[in-house]
Structure 1
Amino acid sequence: MTERASRSAVLWASAGLLATALIWGTMTPLLKVLTEVMDIWLLAALRYVLGLPFLLACMLLVAPPARSPAKLKAAQLAILGLAMTAFSILYTVGVRYSHPVTAVVVLNFGPVISAVMARVMLGTRMAPGFPLALGLALLGGLLVLYGTPGTHERGLALQGGEPLLVVGQICWQWYSIRAQQWLGDRGQIGLSTITSAVAALWMVVAYAALWGAGVAGGAPPALAWHHVLYLVWICVFGVAVAILLWNVGVSRVGLPVAALHMNASPVFAVLTAAAIGLPPTGLQIAGGLLVLGGIVYMQLLQMRRARPG
């Protein structure tokens, strides 16, 4: 954060980040299903293309910032879009070729990556209490996964996609920092829409090149209705809505704390399973409480430091 946000802004940002964790928590297993019925490269391209209309509608409905923003620079836009494109491809392929459990474990280390990158790129020191909150969140996430039925039978062997998830997170955290520096004066809706549009263009170009080379396939002959719903959820909510909420959160509480909220994703996955008749185990409940405890602890510290209002 460049300046202290108000307490109400911190609360709204935290709520939005938890909503993002909910969306992204459900997106990983759904994406895994879709990669088995659709071409993986087409799916990666559709994520931004189909989510873009929602962001464009938001941009048209919301008043622009009062101050005139700086002139757009083509090179910066190209690099931001390329970083988002790299993340989309690496994330999609990484999930496809990773063990479901190890994929979530790798993604749970996002706050560590973000803290290191914020330190290197911005010189940002860890917020007071962040190491403890991070430790609680990491431990809780591991308990949630360890308590998942079938984990021991499946084992935790790496399947090749996990390194791609690490590199993908680095690309995403880099985008999150640079987007605020270069386009923050356009507001979070404008920032999210512009960068997503450039990323969509990059994805279309990449898919066309791969299709022309015979690497990427075409559209599937037919999709079941539930696969269509999965696709809508991943594209509209998993990309458009979540990216907007993420960027708002980063602008209010900073990248490392925003990334910490994403460790709630496994908790929401467990709650989703409980809603469809799969009750959580004791370890999952304990792990979920630890994750939420770390987030709430960090939230209270943020509220104490925030200015009234």
Structure 2
Amino acid sequence: MNATPPVPLWRAALLLSVATILWGAAFPVSKAVLASMDPICMALCRYGVAAPLFLILLAWREGAAALRPEGAFWRLVGLGTLGFAGFNLLMFYGVGMSRPEFGAIVMALQPLIAVMIQWARSGTRPAPRSFVALGVAVLGVLLLTTNGHPARLVEHAALLPTLMMITGGTCWVLYSMGAAAFPGWSPLRYTALSGSGGALGLGAIWLLVGAAGGLRLPTAAALPGLVPALLFLILPAAVIAVLCWNQGIRQIGAQRGMLFINLVPLTALAVGVLSGHPLGGGELAGALLVLGSLFINQAGSRKPATAVLCPAAAGRQA
């Protein structure tokens, strides 16, 4: 009843590109915000505002009846907490303990994580081109984030933050795959109800950490300067990006859609170039490899890989 009609494959690719480009632009913006508050406060600011906006949009587009979780309240809270709390907190705390380059590399591992999870669930070995595309993507991100000198990564390597970021990336993969449990729901409905569940999870974490005195709140003097950055993190980088992501994933599936995550470091590179950072040869080679991995992943397949998320909803995925 709430299912959306099929959309062209090129549109799904465009939606996923928009989402990951916005997330890539959010990394340098987040860095400035995190100088004044901790990742828990930043995530709660983002999704504490985004979740009501999702619900208002859902009620307007599909009616008040679509707001009902239909017996899946706790499942949505769990999925939302995985995606919006688990990913954001583990990723940004891990980046804070190491370097942004590690975050970019871990995000590049998310397609591989999706392949392994799907392989374990279905018992069906992915197509060889998927492994080739993943290998090319990881190599490209390594070149991109080190400018062709991978040894730089070892200078600040640390096991704990790396494990935190890998766990955070796994949380986002599981959230994206979770849409399979709601084949009759539109991408907007899954986004709104799971996002609200995630905001509740973030609120509970905020209260627990606050009670233990572990929060770092912005000062009153710093708040006015944070408003433009927070508005970007809430509207384009949370509301628009998550809606685009879930729509694109519904169309082509998590296993193939996750490869678009590799556009995040590309966007961060582009932001750096626009800010005056010179483009190195290694960075350029890495960027080309990342883009090439997307084409490899699509080669030889004219039909969307919807079976990854929802076998019953062939031709469209949320």
Secondary structure of the structure 1 residue equivalent to 2:185:
helix
Q: Hey, what's the Cα distance between the residues in 1 that align with 2:264 and 2:278?
A: 17
Alpha-carbon shift at residue 262 of structure 1 (Å): 0.8
Alpha-carbon shift at residue 115 of structure 1 (Å): 0.7
Q: Hey, what's the Cα distance between the residues in 1 that align with 2:172 and 2:47?
A: 14
Aligned to 1:207: 206
The one-character-per-residue Cα deviations of 1:11-32 (angstroms, maximum 9, x if unpaired) are 1111111112211212233323
Alpha-carbon shift at residue 71 of structure 1 (Å): 2.5
What letter matches 1:52 in structure 2?
A
Q: Hey, what's the Cα distance between the residues in 2 that align with 1:154 and 1:146?
A: 11
What letter matches 2:258 in structure 1?
A
What letter matches 1:244 in structure 2?
L
Alpha-carbon shift at residue 86 of structure 1 (Å): 2.3
Residues 109 and 138 in structure 1, CA contact (< 8 A), matched pair in contact too: yes
Q: Hey, what's the Cα distance between the residues in 1 that align with 2:167 and 2:229?
A: 25
Q: Hey, what's the Cα distance between the residues in 1 that align with 2:24 and 2:148?
A: 15
Aligned to 1:264: 263
What letter matches 1:287 in structure 2?
G
Residues 47 and 234 in structure 1, CA contact (< 8 A), matched pair in contact too: yes
- Equivalent positions of 1:132-143 (< 5 A) are 132-143=132-143
Aligned to 1:164: 164
Structure 2: runs of 5 or more not aligned: 305-313
TM-score by length of 1: 0.85
Aligned to 1:131: 131
Alpha-carbon shift at residue 95 of structure 1 (Å): 2.2
Alpha-carbon shift at residue 184 of structure 1 (Å): 3.2
Residues 90 and 168 in structure 1, CA contact (< 8 A), matched pair in contact too: yes
Number of residue equivalences? 300
Q: Hey, what's the Cα distance between the residues in 1 that align with 2:133 and 2:229?
A: 33
Residues 105 and 142 in structure 2, CA contact (< 8 A), matched pair in contact too: yes
Q: Hey, what's the Cα distance between the residues in 1 that align with 2:153 and 2:10?
A: 41
TM-score by length of 2: 0.83
Alpha-carbon shift at residue 145 of structure 1 (Å): 1.3
Q: Hey, what's the Cα distance between the residues in 2 that align with 1:39 and 1:168?
A: 16
Which one of 298, 303, 306 corresponds to residue 305 of structure 1? 303
Q: Hey, what's the Cα distance between the residues in 1 that align with 2:241 and 2:41?
A: 21
Structure 1: runs of 5 or more not aligned: none
Q: Alpha carbons of 1:184 and 1:305: their partners in 2 closer, same or farther (altered >3 Å)? A: closer
Alpha-carbon shift at residue 82 of structure 1 (Å): 2.9
Aligned to 1:79: 78
Alpha-carbon shift at residue 60 of structure 1 (Å): 3.4
| Greater RCO (CA < 8 Å, at least 6 residues apart) | 1
Alpha-carbon shift at residue 197 of structure 1 (Å): 0.6
Q: Alpha carbons of 1:25 and 1:61: their partners in 2 closer, same or farther (altered >3 Å)? A: same
Q: Hey, what's the Cα distance between the residues in 2 that align with 1:107 and 1:277?
A: 25
CA RMSD of superposed structures (Å): 3.1
Residues 148 and 284 in structure 1, CA contact (< 8 A), matched pair in contact too: yes
What letter matches 1:259 in structure 2?
M
Residues 98 and 159 in structure 1, CA contact (< 8 A), matched pair in contact too: no
